[in-house]
Amino acid sequence: MSRALRRAAVPALVLAGGVIARGRLEIPALLAWAALASVGFSVSAEAAPDLIVYAGFVFGTALAMLVSGTAVVMGIVGFAAAVSVRKLDPGRLGTQCVIAVLLGFPLMYGAIAVGLPAEGALPWTLAAWLALVLQLTSRLEQGVPDSNSRRLTIGTAALSIALVPASLVWPAHASYHGAYFLIAVFAELFLLAAATRVLVGRTYRVSLLVEGAMLVGLIALVAGRIG
């Protein structure tokens, strides 16, 4: 996923997180402020160390203050984590896990903005899981040393396949509506197709399947709460 697309996705994910948490297709003022604050934090975290960093951080903090103290704290924590992870080795699994958690965090931030953080745990976890699979498939596309290839292949396929039952059982336990399951099945098919391609060594552009699963999965989460 390109940096520009990731930046654009952050406020959209915050809004989606709030909608999922509330179970209503409405955007209250606090959620809108949180989405705008996320723009400042995300731009600041990824910018070079210049005026943009400080301006983005101040912008994000000021808007988060309109939401709640928790939104300010969590926004600053997310910003600090995003800055810190840039200094780590991107090829290490630990770094990729941290990045995956950060990529899914906007969904939780939206839930925090509307005062329902517990409702953000499920979307955050599933999104982070998918983000980790995306990073691993991207690494396979780029090529890895032969000594690591088999381990990475098996790990990526296992994570992809294990996500399928997890994405069914947990939402069912959380009483998501039937619309979720009708839509999510397509995301799961994308995941299974990605896992199959990885296992047979056909990794060319396999990350597109995972990105498709992410988009369809997000639609399913929203539909499953407001349906």
Q: List pLDDT tens digits, range 121-175.
A: 999 999 999 999 999 998 888 876 655 778 889 999 999 999 999 999 999 999 9
Tell me what pLDDT residue 4 has: 54
Q: What is the pLDDT of residues 76-126, one digit of tens each?
A: 888 888 888 878 777 788 889 999 999 999 999 999 999 999 999 999 999
Q: Which tokens go with 226? A: 């407001």
Domain boundaries, the chain: 1-115, 118-227
- Alpha carbons 146 and 214: distance in angstroms, whole number: 29
Tell me what pLDDT residue 147 has: 58
Tell me what pLDDT residue 52 has: 66
Q: What is the pTM of this model?
A: 0.89
Tell me what pLDDT residue 79 has: 83
Among the listed residues 17, 58, 2, the one whose alpha carbon sits nearest the alpha carbon of residue 208 = 2
- Alpha carbons 135 and 194: distance in angstroms, whole number: 13
Mean pLDDT value of segment 63-77: 89
Half-sphere exposure of residue 19: CA atoms within 13 angstroms, side-chain side: 21
Tell me what pLDDT residue 180 has: 96
Give kind and range of the element (H or E) at residue 226.
Answer: helix 207-226
Tell me what pLDDT residue 6 has: 64
Tell me what pLDDT residue 219 has: 96
Tell me what pLDDT residue 12 has: 93
* Second CATH level (architecture) for the domain 1-115: Orthogonal Bundle (1.10)
Q: How confident is the model at residue 56 (pLDDT cuts 50, 70, 90)?
A: confident
Tell me what pLDDT residue 137 has: 92
- Alpha carbons 165 and 204: distance in angstroms, whole number: 26
Question: 212 vs 91, which has greater pLDDT?
Answer: 212
Tell me what pLDDT residue 116 has: 94
Tell me what pLDDT residue 5 has: 59
